Amino acid sequence: MRKLAGKLLLLLLGMLLVTILVSFTLTGFLYERLYVNSIKEELVQYGENVSLDYDGGDVSDIFVWNVEYLNEKTRFEIFAVRNPRELSACVPFEIDYNALIGSKERAQLLDGQSVIDVGYEERFKRDLVSVVVPLLDEDRLEGILYLYYPLENIQELTENYALLWVLCIFLFSMIISVIGAKGVSYVINPLLEMKDAAKNISRGDLTSRVNVSSRDEIGELAETFNKMAESLEKEDERNKEFLATVSHELRTPITYIKGYNEALQMNLGTEIERAQYFQLISRETSRLDKMVNELLDMMKLETGNFHIELEPIALAETVRQAVDSFKSFAESHGIDVLIELNEDIIVQGDEGRIHQILHNLLRNSLQYMNGSGTIQITLDDSLSREEAVLTVSDTGIGIPEEHLPFVTERFYRVNKARTRSDGGSGLGLAIVSQLVELHNGRLTITSKVNEGTTVEIRLPLIVTEDG
């Protein structure tokens, strides 16, 4: 960041230098355009005004004397001569008559136009503006008015203001430096704060945040950084919660398996009890297998390595098979399972993964039943006949409304208590959501506490020729 601050300061100093150079260039431009041009215009205007006193014919001595009188009253030098060569007696420098009035200039004078020239004069050590105004009698050039003025150079024009000029440059430089330093600090300080916060996050302090002190791009960057840090913190909390959940869920069946296995090895218990031990070991082994499979599925889904094979399937038959494998177990726990299926529904799907979706949903419904109740599965087409609508409804304990937006996130559990009876690993609905998405479908969950939950899945419908 220090390097960036140095670069910004160098940029400001460069801009200041460019500004000063431009000001000098502009001064020269203004000198040429304003001062020099104004002198030219004044000389031409003054000469043409004087030429109005010429009445034609030969240039009289009276006219020449009047011009000499005017010469003493004006800041310009002005002379009236009948022949340009007479100028040598009037001006204190040598004149190249051929250069002063050549053929081009003579044609210009005969046309009634003044001739203007700017050139360096060694006698005055500066540039000289000269103007030749014609004295015409019809189409004859009877004489000329010659006016000149030695230009002040730019240093002379500014020498009276040199101190003020230097002072202004100094003050301007100081103001630019102060504003630039504050501007650099305004840009750099939030970036330095973000750098420190990023270091804290890299060390594991996910609570680190930066202050948002503006609404510009820097402020938006700070807000984005804070949102990123907040997301990382939430993800970290979920991962910790997930690890705690998984470790607890793994520890419980492993403890059962280990304990009952040791009892079997020691020939403890009666034959009936030992048979129960085998059943418990088998049940807990199944739980472990299911959990490991869910973890593998979740990992594949998140890394994009999960593949499904879509083909036309009669969805009603697939749903019936999944429900039949679950129905007897549910009824043994006092749960009624009702199904209402449209046999004509055909979708593009992976039969095994749809089984998995239904298994997870039915298992959730059973898990969150409060005693006896009802689970209803319906399948029909939508009003537009473009989608198959599969719903799984239960009369369980329901889900609080504030939790509904998050229940399909991985590792999310409505009940944070990690017990074997009231919650899984938090992966079931997350897997269902992503499997439905892979089928180009939509998942909607509605629920009311103590009334039950309804999960609706919409899949693209394949319309048959009869449909």
Q: Give me the residue spans of the domains in the chain.
A: 36-159, 162-305, 307-460
Q: pTM for the whole thing?
A: 0.47
Count of residues in the chain = 467
How far is it, in rounded angstroms, from Cα 426 to Cα 416? 10
How far is it, in rounded angstroms, from Cα 389 to Cα 381? 6
Angle at 255 between CA 250 and CA 260, to 5 degrees: 135
Contact 424, 242 (CB under 8 A): no
What CATH number was assigned to the domain covering residues 307-460? 3.30.565.10
Question: b/e string for 162-175 if b means 16 or more Cβ within 10 A?
Answer: eeeeeeeeeeeeee
CB atoms within 10 A of CB 151: 19
> The domain 36-159 is classified under which CATH number: 1.10.10, 3.30.70, 2.30.230, 3.30.450?
3.30.450
Distances (CA, A) of 178 to 175, 218, 250, 296, 302: 5, 21, 65, 60, 52
CATH topology classification for 162-305: Helix Hairpins (1.10.287)
CA 289 to chain centre: 47
Note the pLDDT of residue 338. 92
Residues of the chain with pLDDT under 50: 1, 418-421, 467
Note the pLDDT of residue 25. 64
Note the pLDDT of residue 283. 76
Note the pLDDT of residue 222. 82
